[in-house]
């Protein structure tokens, strides 16, 4: 099942397009606006999420365009929230913004309007590799930031599921619902297959450290795994 999640949603898999429509459905937390403030309301969806393995999805969305780099660069801090220093989390390499022209911006195709006037929107192998690096860096920062505050409302990764070993099944499902909304703008109920799929990603992350699964370190690694899977998801990168 975990393999199916990454095959269906991973960047190296198919690119999936979801129909978007505005919704008045309450957020997973039961309080409108907590997650929705950080995403565009127009991208939220209550539509039936398609079968990610269906021939119709595969054939109709294979060549969907990725986000422009400027939009991706602006989206990351909105999704990731603030770091331990109180500043928006961004992907940085050697102290520089990784998606800037000084680092990877130009090699990923941002136009210079001298030799190149339009940005290529194809997900190249280089783009996929760098997005994996981005996901791991950003999610690690989110884990560190979420371990600092005592107020759940200031946490961005495990807002509804404590990592002290006391989280219930309902809280874990609720937190996955919240993350699907925050990262992918998908509003789904607790019984949706995406919730169970990402729960398996969470469980795999918890088990990966080989320590007590109820420990803070194991639980935090579980949510870091879900975060990485979401940031590598094709649904995060489509235009």
Backbone Cα Rg of the chain: 18
* Dist CA 7 CA 11 (whole Å): 8
Residue 224: predicted pLDDT: 98
Q: Where are the alpha helices (DSSP H) in the chain?
A: 2-9, 55-61, 69-80, 125-146, 169-184, 193-208, 216-232, 234-237
Nearest to 6 by CA among 232, 236, 238: 232
Query: pLDDT for 29-74, tens place per residue?
Result: 433 334 334 333 334 444 455 554 555 544 544 446 888 999 999 9
CB 74 within 8 A of CB 67: no
Check pLDDT > 80 for residue 229: yes
* Dist CA 99 CA 239 (whole Å): 17
Q: What is the pTM of this model?
A: 0.75
Query: pLDDT for 167-197, tens place per residue?
Result: 999 999 999 999 999 999 999 999 999 999 9
Question: Which residues share a beta bridge with 96?
Answer: 93
Q: Is 156 exposed, middle or buried (0-12, 13-18, 19+ CB in 10 A)?
A: buried
* Dist CA 104 CA 239 (whole Å): 20
Query: pLDDT for 83-121, tens place per residue?
Result: 999 999 999 999 999 999 999 999 898 888 888 888 888
């Amino acid at each position: 099942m975990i393999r199916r999640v990454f095959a269906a949603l991973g960047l190296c898999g198919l690119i999936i397009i979801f129909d978007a429509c505005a919704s008045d459905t309450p957020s997973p937390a039961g309080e409108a606006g907590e997650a929705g403030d950080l995403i565009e309301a127009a991208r939220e969806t209550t539509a039936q999420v398609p079968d990610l393995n269906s021939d119709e999805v595969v054939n109709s969305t294979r060549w969907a365009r990725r986000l422009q780099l400027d939009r991706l660069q602006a989206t990351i801090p909105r999704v990731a929230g603030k770091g331990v220093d109180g500043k928006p989390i961004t992907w940085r390499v050697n102290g520089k913004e990784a998606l800037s022209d000084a680092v990877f911006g130009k090699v990923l195709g941002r136009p210079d309007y001298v030799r190149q006037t339009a940005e290529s929107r194809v997900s190249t192998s280089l783009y996929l590799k760098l997005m994996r690096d981005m996901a791991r860096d950003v999610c690690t920062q989110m884990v560190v930031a979420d371990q600092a505050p005592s107020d759940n409302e200031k946490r961005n990764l495990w807002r509804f599921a404590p990592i002290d070993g006391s989280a219930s099944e309902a809280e874990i499902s609720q937190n996955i619902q919240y993350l699907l909304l925050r990262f992918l703008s998908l509003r789904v109920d607790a019984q949706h297959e995406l919730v169970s799929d990402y729960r398996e990603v969470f469980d795999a992350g918890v088990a990966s450290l080989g320590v007590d699964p109820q420990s803070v370190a194991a639980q935090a690694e579980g949510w870091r795994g879900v975060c990485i899977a979401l940031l590598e998801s094709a649904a995060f990168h489509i235009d």
